[in-house]
Structure 1
Amino acid sequence: MAMLGHGGMLMEGSPYSIPSRKLTMWLFIISDAVTFGAILFAYGYLRVATPDWQTPFNSASIINVATMTFVLITSSLTMLGAVDASKGGDKPKALQFLGSTMVLGLIFAGLHIREWFGLFDRGIKLSSGLFGQAFFSITGLHLLHVLIGVVALAVVARKYSSGGLTPGHVETTGLYWHFVDLVWMFVVPLVYLTNIAR
């Protein structure tokens, strides 16, 4: 039975209580989701309202973005593996999965940067009109989140391996990683698939 403290707040140990770190992460995710949602909505409006919008992507571009998407989806699976292993008390396996997730995040970043340089070679830059500004701003913001996630995973893995963090910390970091992956699933159709040259 849930116990109420002063002011009706749920006490620690209540089946309905949420660890403060997880609640903080959920609040961050919600606020970040609103930010990304507003940016993507503004992008969609500009895309529809601009008749001469650039459509620079071709079949090779889509193969590249499909590869990046596969890498991120796989990283979500390895993150799930890390959480499950940590909860099961298998620290070596959890650390292995965390390492795999970090490597996949870096592979995604490398593919993304290579894509950017390919666009630079074609004269498409941040300063080259509305498309360039929108594309590099959105994908740059997402890439920044991925890199922050990789750093966070590295810190968590190091402290978890030494016993300084618990499986709950691994799970909370996983929430952030899954959120970043989910955002990408909206970026792909809105930013890539609507800009295929015909």
Structure 2
Amino acid sequence: MPSRHDGPVATRTWFVATEDHAHGGGATLIGFWIYLMSDALIFASLFAVFGVLGRNYAGGPGPKQLFDLSLVALNTGLLLASSITFGIAMMAMESDRVKRTMFWLVITGLLGLGFLCVEMHEFAELVAQGATPQRSAFLSMFFTLVGTHGAHVAFGLIWLVTMLIQIGQRGLRVENRRRIVCLSMFWHFLDIVWIGVFTFVYLYGVIR
């Protein structure tokens, strides 16, 4: 237990940690880490299959003919920026600043939505060119890998909107803090996966 010399910040932190432990926060975080590891295995499997089938074009177009790296770089910038804004939201949450936390979470959501819009535009352009998942094994795995990541981002946005509603109604309670921490882990995990997608699928595909 904190002593009287530790100050109000240390005392408040100790009580928050104690209350979070009492509500099963430690078990929640461990469970979420296990989920992230299982999700990492799913993406590792998709990367492995893409590595095997990534050059099977079936006489169709390949990465050099299909990918616009400037568009992909824009998308990468949006997702990286959203991780930064999420980090700012986490710092605001640690300072008990509800409105500032919600503001930066909204900015994060808008950047994530922009990422999805650019990705859907890219998919629409590919389909318009006849580069559909049925065209080749390469395109099948491209749509599967990138689409799976996009579906995770969409889920993250739904989760983020839900948290904004809960924070607006109940403030930064212990339960909401724990959920925001889990969402932050999930969001940064998607950022790391996307760096792999950008490097392995797009950049390496164009320059090789």
TM-score interval (norm. to shorter): 0.7 to 0.9
Instruction: Say which of 148, 164, 167 aligns to 1:157.
Output: 164
1:87 aligns with 2:99: no
Q: Would you say the 8 A contact 2:90–2:101 is kept in 1? A: yes
Q: Which residue of 2 aligns with 1:7?
A: none
User: CA-to-partner distance for each residue in 1:76-98, whole Å, 9 max, x for gaps?
Assistant: 01111111111110010000011
Q: 1:21 deviation in Å?
A: 2.1
Structure 2: stretches of 5+ with no match in the other structure = 2-16
| Whole-angstrom distance in 1 between the partners of 2:201 and 2:60 | 12
SS of the residue corresponding to residue 19 of structure 1 reads helix
Count of equivalent residues: 186
Question: What secondary structure, in the 3-state scheme, does the structure 1 residue paired with 2:68 have?
Answer: helix
Greater fraction helix? 2
Equivalent residue in structure 2 for 1:111, among 101, 118, 129 = 118
Q: How do 1:176-195 and structure 2 match up within 5 A?
A: 176-195=186-205
Q: TM-score of the superposition, structure 2-length normalised?
A: 0.81
The answer as to whether partners of 2:57 and 2:138 remain within 8 angstroms in 1 is no
Equivalent position SS for 2:62: coil
* Alpha-carbon distance between aligned partners in 1 of 2:32 and 2:64, rounded to the nearest angstrom: 35
Q: Does 1:39 align with 2:46?
A: yes
Cα drift, residue 30 of structure 1 = 0.4
Whole-angstrom CA distance in 2 between matches of 1:49 and 1:128: 10
> What's the C-alpha RMSD, in Å, of the aligned pairs?
2.6
Structure 1 alignment gaps of length 5 or more: 2-11
Q: Alignment partner of 1:123: what SS?
A: coil
Q: Taking every aligned residue pair, what percent have the same amino acid on both sides?
A: 25
Residue 75 (structure 2) aligns with: 68
Encode CA deviations 1:101-145: one digit per residue, 9 max, x unaligned. Answer: 111111000000000111112110011111110111111101000
Given that 2:57 and 2:136 are in contact with CA atoms closer than 8 Å, whether structure 1 keeps it comes out as: no
Is 1:123–2:133 an aligned residue pair?
A: no
Give the deviation of 1:54 after TM superposition.
4.0
Once the two structures are TM-superposed, the CA of residue 47 in structure 1 deviates from its matched residue by 2.6
Report what 2:11 is aligned to.
none
Q: Is the 1:76–1:178 contact (alpha carbons within 8 Å) kept by the matching residues of 2?
A: yes
Match for 1:130: what amino acid? A
2: CA distance, partners of 1:113 / 1:46: 23
Instruction: Provide the rounded CA distance (Å) in 2 between the counterparts of 1:40 and 1:53.
Output: 21
Task: Tell me the SS of whatever aligns to 1:82.
Answer: helix
